[in-house]
Structure 1
Amino acid sequence: MSEEIQSGSSTEDLDGQTVKGSVDPNTNVDELRSNINAKLENPLRGFTTRELAAKGEAYCRDNGISDEEDIRAFRLGAVIAQNFELYADCEGLTPDENDALESEIEHKWRQPWYLWLIVILCSICAAVQGMDETVVNGAQIFYSIQFGIGNKTSSRDSWLVGLVNSAPYLCCALIGCWLTVPMNKYLGRRGTVFWTCVISAVACFAQAFTNNWWGMFVARFVLGFGIGPKSATVPIYAAECAPPKIRGALVMQWQMWTAFGIMLGFVADLAFYHVPDRSGIIGLNWRLMMGSAMFPAVIVCCFVFMCPESPRWYMSKNRHQKAYQSMCSLRYNKIQAARDIFYMHTLLEIEKETMVLKKNPILELIKVPRNRRAFQASEIVMFMQQFCGVNVIAYYSSEIFLESGFDEIRALSASLGFGIINFLFALPAVWTIDRFGRRNLLLTTFPIMSLCLFFTGFSFWIPEGSTAKVACIALGIYIFGIFYSPGPGPVPFTYSAEAYPLYIRPLGMSCATATTWFFNFVLSITWPSLLKAFKPQGAFSWYACWNIIGFLGVLFFVPETKGRSLEELDQVFSVRTRDHAAYGARQVGYFINRYILRKDVEPEDLYALKEVEHRPDSYQTEKPTDPVERV
C-alpha cells in the first residue's frame, strides 16, 4: 500500500482500495452514497500505523511541504488522527508534543491567542447582526411620524411601517442568502466577513441620513446584503477553525452574541432618546439610534484581516501550505496542526467522491426519502424560529409597551429588559442543547411560549391606567423571552447544520437560512396591520396558536439528533414519516402515564439497534421500523 502512495500512480479510497479517475459506472450510486456517510464516522479506520504514517508523508510530498520537521509532524499527526484520544500510543512524541495533546483534552478552553481573536471577531459580527435588527425598535417611534407614516389608524401607514422594518429580511430571503456560496468561493471567509460588515456599516450610515420612508426602505434593503451572507458565513468560519472538543460551543456563540447585539440595540435606543435636534437637524435622536449600529461593523473591518483565514477554505483552493500555516497559528503545537490538516484533507477527499454523484441537487433534496425527511424537519424548525413570534417583540416591543400604557421612556426601558433577558438566558444554551436534546427543548418550550403569548394578549383587557395591566404584559413578554432563548433561538441553526448528509448540506443550509429570513420578513411586514385588525389580544393569540402548531410539528415530524453520529443520523432519517408520527403520538401517552399518573414505565427508543447498519435502500426506498415494544 505504501508503495502505491509513494508512486502517486493511483488514488486510494478510505478502505485501502484503488480508485482510478472516477466512479465505476457499474457501481450502485445509492450504495456508494451510503458507504460514504459510513466512512465519515471514522474515515481512517482499518489502517495500520505504518500505512497512516506513509499517508501523512505522501500528503507533504504531494503538496510541497518539504521541511523535515513538518514532514515528521504529518507522519505522527496522521497516526493520531485515527483516534484523537489515543495519542499516548503513538511512538516518537516529544514531551512538549505530548503535553500539548494532553492539554487539549484536560484543558480544552486553553487555546492560542489567534483562535480567541477569531472568537472575538465572530462575537462582534453577531453583535452587528443583533444591533442591525433592533435599533429600529425605538427609532420607528420618531421617524414614522416624521415621514408621515405614523397614523396607527391608517392601513396604508401600517403597511408602510411594516415594509420599511422588514426590508433587510426581504433582501436576505430573495438575494442575500443566495450570495453566500459565491462570496465565500471567491472572497474567502475573512473577505466575506469584511465586505458584509462594510455593507452593514454603509447601510446604517445611510439610514441615519434619510428624509423619507422610501429612502429608509432602500437603505434597509441594502442592509440585507450584509445580514444574509454574514449570518451563514460566521458560524462556518468558527466551526472550521475551532478544535473538535469545543467546536459546538464556539459555533453556539453566534446565537448568544446575536442576543447581546439585540440588547445593545435597545441600549442605543434608550441612550439617544433625549438627544435634542440641533442646527436644523430634524430627528437627531433616531438618526443616532440607526447610525449607532455601524460602529461594531467598523470594528470588525479594522481587525478581520489580523485573523488567520479558514484552513479549510485554503484547502478547497488547493493551497495546502497556506492551510497548514493558518492551522499552526490556531494550535499550540505543529503536531496538532498536522493532525487536523491531515484529517480535514481526508474528509475533503470524501467530499470529492460525493461530488461525482451530483446530478440535480434540488431533486436529490426532494425525491430522496432520507433527504426529504431532513429537509422537512429543518424547514419546520426554521419556520417556527420566526413564527413563534419572537421578532414581533424584538422589532415592535416599544410600540407594544406604548400600547399597554407605558410612556416612551418606560417603553424603551421595558424593551431593554427584554433584550437583557434574551441575552442572559441564551448563555445556558451551550450546555442545554447537548444535555437535553434539540427535540426535547422545543417540545418543552413551545407550549410555555404559547401560554405566555395568550397571557400577554389577554392582559390588554385589563382596564387602562391599572398597574396590573402593564405588569402582566411585561411579565408575559419576559417569560416568553426566558424560554425562547435556550429553545427556538439556538436549536434551528444547529439542527439544520447536522441533519443533512454531507453531499447535500450546502443546498440544505441555503434553503434553511432563506426560510428563516423570509418568514422574518413576513412577520415584520404584517405585524402593524395584524395589530390594527385584530387588536393586541387577537394578534398575540395568533402567534400563541402557531406555537401550539409548532409543538405538534416537532412532535410528529422532527427526530432527535442529539448525541448521534453521522451513521446514526442516516438511520434516524431513514425511518418513515408515518412511523415517526405514530411514535410521537405514543410519546404523549408515555408522558401522561409517567408524569401525571406516576406509573413506572420506560420510554420507547424508536432507533434502538444493537448495531447501526447502512443499507442502500436508506436513500431510495421507504424503510419501516422494526417492531418495538410499545408502552
Structure 2
Amino acid sequence: MGRDQEHDDVASELLAGASYHHEEPDQGQELADSPLSEHISNEVQHFAKTYGLIRKLDVLQKAATLIQGDTKPADVLNITHREVVATQDETARKWRQPIAMYLTVVITALGAMGQGWAQTSMNGANLYFPTAFGIDSDSSRDNFIVGLINSGIYLSCGLLGAWLVAPLNARLGRRGAVFGATTISLLSNIGGALSQNWQQLLAFRLVLGCALGVISSTLNVYVAECAPAAIRGAIGVSWQCFCAFGIFIGFVANVAVYDYGPNTWRLQLAAPFLSTIPLLLLVYACPESPFWHIKHGSRYDLAFLSLARLRNTELQAAKELYQTYFQRHTSGADHKPNTPYLQTLTQLFTIPRIRRATLAAYTVMISQQLCGINIISFYSSTIFADANFSNHGALLASVAFGLVNFLGAFPAVWTMDTLGRRSLLLLTLPVMALTMLAAGLSFSIPSDSPAHFTLLAATIYLFCAEYSPGMGPVPAAYSAEVFPLSHREIGMSSAVAVTNLWASALSLTFPALLSFLGSQGAFTLYAALNVVAFVLVFLFVPETRLKTLDELDVVFSVSTRRFVRYQVMEYMPWWTRRYVLRQGKVELSPLEMEEEYSVLEQEDDEAS
C-alpha cells in the first residue's frame, strides 16, 4: 500500500467520527495495542515528524484517539484529569475559554466600534461642515458633494478596500493587515478633522473607507478562525453588536461636543481615533490565526502554538489541528498550488455551488442597504432637524436611536441558531416596512404638534429595534458561512464590497432624494424597498441554521430555478393555508436535495 493511499485510509477512519466503530479489545488489553490504533499511531508519528511536532507526539496520539469518536475522554491512555474536564466543558461550559481567546473578541469589538463610530461621526458633522465649506445651499451640486462625502467610506471600501483583503492578508497575516489598516484609519480620522476644504475631507474619507474595509473583512475572518465551534456562531454576532455600540458611542460623542462653535464638526470627525489606539496596542498580543499558518506554507507547528493559546489545553489544540490536517489531506488542499486571485474570484460566478452561495450572500447584503438603516445612521440628525428639532434635540434623539440599535442586537446571539437566519429576516422585514411607512406618515402631522415628534421618534426607534436582531447581524454571519473554505475569504470580501457599493449609492443619492421627495416621500420609498428586500430574501436565500459545511454543500446543490419554484408553488401556498386560512392539518412537502454532491467537480446540468 502506498503512503498516500495509507493516509487516505486513516483519514477516512478518523473523519468518520461517531459513525465509525471498531472491535473492542479484549479485557485487559491496552487501547494502543489494537491494530487500528497502531496504524493511526504510525500516521500520527509521520505527521509529527513531517511538521516539526515530534515533541508533541504524546498529545497528538491522544487527540487522534478522541477523533475516532467511540472512545470516552476518561478512557484515553495517559489522559490527565484536567484534559478530561476541559473536553467535557467544550459543551457543558462552552464559554469557559482562555484569556487569549477573549482577547481576539476584544480586538474584534474595537475594530467594529471604530467602524460604527466613523459612520456616526459624519452624522453629527453634517449639521456643521457644509456651512464651513460653503456647500450648504440646496442646489444639486452641493447636495451631490455632501452625499459624496458621506458615501466616501462606503465607495472606497467597495471599489478598493475589500479587494485588498486577500493580498494584504497573504503578505502580512491577519494581525499585520489589521495593524496596518488601523494605523491608516487613525491618520485618516485626524486628517479629515484638519481638512481645510471639502476636497481634502473627501480624500481622507476615501482613504478611511479603504482601511475600514480591510479591518472589517479581516477581523470577521480572524475571529471565526480562532473561535471554537461551540461558540463560533454567537461570537460571529459580536461584530454587529459592537458596530452598533460604536454607532451609539459616536452619537454620544456628537452630543458631548455639539456646542464647541465652528470647530464642532472637527472634534466629531476626529473622535473615532480613540478606538484605534487600544486596537493597535492589543492586536499583536493576540496569536496569529492558526488557519492562516496552515493556509500559507502548511506551518502546522506554528498553528499548534496559536491553538494552544486559544484553547484551554494542548489536547484540544492538537485535536483541532489533526482534524484540519486530515480534512485538507483528503481534499488535496495541502498539495494544490494556490489558485491565482483572479481565477478564484471568477469561480464565485462560474462554479454552480459557489455561484448560488454568491447569489444568496449578495442578496442579504443588498437587502441590508435597501432597508434604509445606513441612511438613518448617517442622516438621523438631519432628519430630526428637518422635523423642527433643535440641533441639540436632533443629536439627543440620535443618541436614543444608537442605544436602541446596540441593545437590539443582543437577541440575535440566541435567535441566530434557534429561529434561523432566513426566518429572522422574513419575520422582521415586514415590520420594518410598516414602521418606515409610519415614520413617513408622521410628516403629515403639523410640526408644532407633540404628536409629530412622538410618532417620528417612536417609529424610527421601532424600525431600529426590528433591524438590530435581524437585518443587522444576519448578512455578515450568513455571508461568512455559505462559501466553501476554498473561497470563503474572497467570497466574504466580495460580499462586503457589494454592500458598501450599494451603501455608497444610497448615501450619495439621499440628499437629492430628500430634496426632491421630501422627508415623507423618502421614507415611503424606503418602506417600499423593505418589501423588495423581503421578496428577494424569500426567493433567493436558503436557510443555513444548524447546518455543517458539508450539509451546506447539499443545500446549495439545488438550482436557483428549482428553489424559487418550490418557494412560490409549494411553500407560499402551504403558509397561506396554514397561517392565514388556519387549516391546521396542511402538510408541506420537503424540498429534496441532491445527493453525492461534489463542490468543485459538479457539472451544471441544471439551470442555476
| Alignment TM-score, normalising by the size of structure 1 | 0.88
| CA apart distance, 1:534 | 1.0
Closer, same or farther: CA 46–351 of 1 in aligned 2, 3 Å: farther
| CA apart distance, 1:102 | 1.5
Encode CA deviations 1:203-250: one digit per residue, 9 max, x unaligned: 011111112111110111110121011111101111111111111111
| CA apart distance, 1:128 | 0.9
SS at match of 1:435: coil
| CA apart distance, 1:453 | 1.2
Do the aligned residues in 2 keep the contact of 1:384 with 1:550 (CA within 8 Å)?
Answer: yes
SS at match of 1:579: helix
Deviates more, 1:98-107 or 1:442-451: 98-107
Encode CA deviations 1:364-416: one digit per residue, 9 max, x unaligned: 33233332222211111111111111000000000000111211111001111
SS at match of 1:434: coil
Quote the residue 1:339 is aligned against: 319
Quote the residue 1:21 is aligned against: none
- Among 375, 379, 389, the alignment partner of 2:372 is 389
Closer, same or farther: CA 568–334 of 1 in aligned 2, 3 Å: closer
| CA apart distance, 1:589 | 2.3
- Among 189, 192, 211, the alignment partner of 1:226 is 211
| CA apart distance, 1:169 | 1.1
Provide the rounded CA distance (Å) in 1 between the counterparts of 2:165 and 2:247. Answer: 23
Confirm or deny that 1:53 pairs with 2:41: yes
SS at match of 2:602: helix
Quote the residue 1:271 is aligned against: 256
- Among 72, 91, 97, the alignment partner of 2:58 is 72
Provide the rounded CA distance (Å) in 2 between the counterparts of 1:129 and 1:616. Answer: 35
One-letter amino acid of the structure 2 residue matched with residue 259 of structure 1 = A
Confirm or deny that 1:375 pairs with 2:358: yes
Q: How does 1:584-599 map to 2 (within 5 A)?
A: 584-585=567-568, 586-599=570-583
SS at match of 1:464: coil
Do the aligned residues in 2 keep the contact of 1:81 with 1:340 (CA within 8 Å)?
Answer: no
Provide the rounded CA distance (Å) in 1 between the counterparts of 2:557 and 2:6. Answer: 29
Provide the rounded CA distance (Å) in 2 between the counterparts of 1:64 and 1:357. Answer: 23
Closer, same or farther: CA 501–351 of 1 in aligned 2, 3 Å: farther
Provide the rounded CA distance (Å) in 2 between the counterparts of 1:415 and 1:391. Answer: 13
- Among 261, 268, 275, the alignment partner of 1:289 is 268
Quote the residue 1:398 is aligned against: 381
One-letter amino acid of the structure 1 residue matched with residue 48 of structure 2 = C
| CA apart distance, 1:72 | 0.1
Quote the residue 1:478 is aligned against: 461
One-letter amino acid of the structure 1 residue matched with residue 134 of structure 2 = G
One-letter amino acid of the structure 2 residue matched with residue 352 of structure 1 = A
Encode CA deviations 1:476-512: one digit per residue, 9 max, x unaligned: 1111101111111111122222222333333322221
Q: How does 1:374-453 map to 2 (within 5 A)?
A: 374-453=357-436
| CA apart distance, 1:602 | 4.5
Provide the rounded CA distance (Å) in 1 between the counterparts of 2:69 and 2:118. Answer: 43
Q: How does 1:52-451 map to 2 (within 5 A)?
A: 52-67=40-55, 70-83=56-69, 86-151=72-137, 153-276=138-261, 283-315=262-294, 316-349=296-329, 350=331, 352=333, 355=336, 360-451=343-434
Do the aligned residues in 2 keep the contact of 1:575 with 1:622 (CA within 8 Å)?
Answer: no
Closer, same or farther: CA 418–84 of 1 in aligned 2, 3 Å: farther
| CA apart distance, 1:46 | 8.0
Do the aligned residues in 2 keep the contact of 1:369 with 1:622 (CA within 8 Å)?
Answer: no
Closer, same or farther: CA 531–296 of 1 in aligned 2, 3 Å: same
| CA apart distance, 1:105 | 2.2
Closer, same or farther: CA 565–86 of 1 in aligned 2, 3 Å: farther
Do the aligned residues in 2 keep the contact of 1:351 with 1:503 (CA within 8 Å)?
Answer: no
Do the aligned residues in 1 keep the contact of 2:20 with 2:70 (CA within 8 Å)?
Answer: no
- Among 530, 543, 566, the alignment partner of 1:560 is 543
Provide the rounded CA distance (Å) in 1 between the counterparts of 2:468 and 2:174. Answer: 27
Please report the RMSD computed on the Cα atoms of aligned residues, expressed in angstroms.
Answer: 2.6
Provide the rounded CA distance (Å) in 2 between the counterparts of 1:318 and 1:453. Answer: 51
Closer, same or farther: CA 100–394 of 1 in aligned 2, 3 Å: same
One-letter amino acid of the structure 2 residue matched with residue 133 of structure 1 = Q
Deviates more, 1:82-91 or 1:129-138: 82-91
Provide the rounded CA distance (Å) in 2 between the counterparts of 1:385 and 1:365. Answer: 21
Provide the rounded CA distance (Å) in 2 between the counterparts of 1:426 and 1:174. Answer: 28
Provide the rounded CA distance (Å) in 1 between the counterparts of 2:405 and 2:77. Answer: 50
Aligned length: 589
Provide the rounded CA distance (Å) in 2 between the counterparts of 1:601 and 1:377. Answer: 32
Provide the rounded CA distance (Å) in 2 between the counterparts of 1:99 and 1:81. Answer: 17
One-letter amino acid of the structure 1 residue matched with residue 327 of structure 2 = L
Do the aligned residues in 2 keep the contact of 1:574 with 1:622 (CA within 8 Å)?
Answer: no
**Unmatched segments (≥5 aa) in structure 1:** 18-35, 277-282, 626-631
Closer, same or farther: CA 569–101 of 1 in aligned 2, 3 Å: same
Do the aligned residues in 2 keep the contact of 1:114 with 1:329 (CA within 8 Å)?
Answer: yes
Quote the residue 2:30 is aligned against: none
One-letter amino acid of the structure 2 residue matched with residue 456 of structure 1 = A
Provide the rounded CA distance (Å) in 1 between the counterparts of 2:215 and 2:71. Answer: 34
One-letter amino acid of the structure 2 residue matched with residue 329 of structure 1 = R
| CA apart distance, 1:357 | 10
| CA apart distance, 1:362 | 4.5
Provide the rounded CA distance (Å) in 1 between the counterparts of 2:250 and 2:530. Answer: 26
Do the aligned residues in 1 keep the contact of 2:109 with 2:239 (CA within 8 Å)?
Answer: yes
SS at match of 1:620: coil
Closer, same or farther: CA 40–418 of 1 in aligned 2, 3 Å: farther
**Identical aligned pairs, as a percentage?**
38
Quote the residue 1:510 is aligned against: 493
Encode CA deviations 1:320-349: one digit per residue, 9 max, x unaligned: 322222221112211112112222223343
Encode CA deviations 1:162-198: one digit per residue, 9 max, x unaligned: 0011111111111100110111111111111111111
Do the aligned residues in 2 keep the contact of 1:43 with 1:346 (CA within 8 Å)?
Answer: no
One-letter amino acid of the structure 1 residue matched with residue 333 of structure 2 = K
- Among 467, 471, 495, the alignment partner of 1:488 is 471
**Unmatched segments (≥5 aa) in structure 2:** 23-35
SS at match of 2:447: coil
| Alignment TM-score, normalising by the size of structure 2 | 0.91
| CA apart distance, 1:96 | 1.9
| CA apart distance, 1:522 | 0.8
Provide the rounded CA distance (Å) in 1 between the counterparts of 2:585 and 2:460. Answer: 37
Provide the rounded CA distance (Å) in 1 between the counterparts of 2:269 and 2:70. Answer: 48
One-letter amino acid of the structure 2 residue matched with residue 600 of structure 1 = G
Closer, same or farther: CA 504–333 of 1 in aligned 2, 3 Å: closer
Closer, same or farther: CA 337–140 of 1 in aligned 2, 3 Å: same
| CA apart distance, 1:594 | 1.7
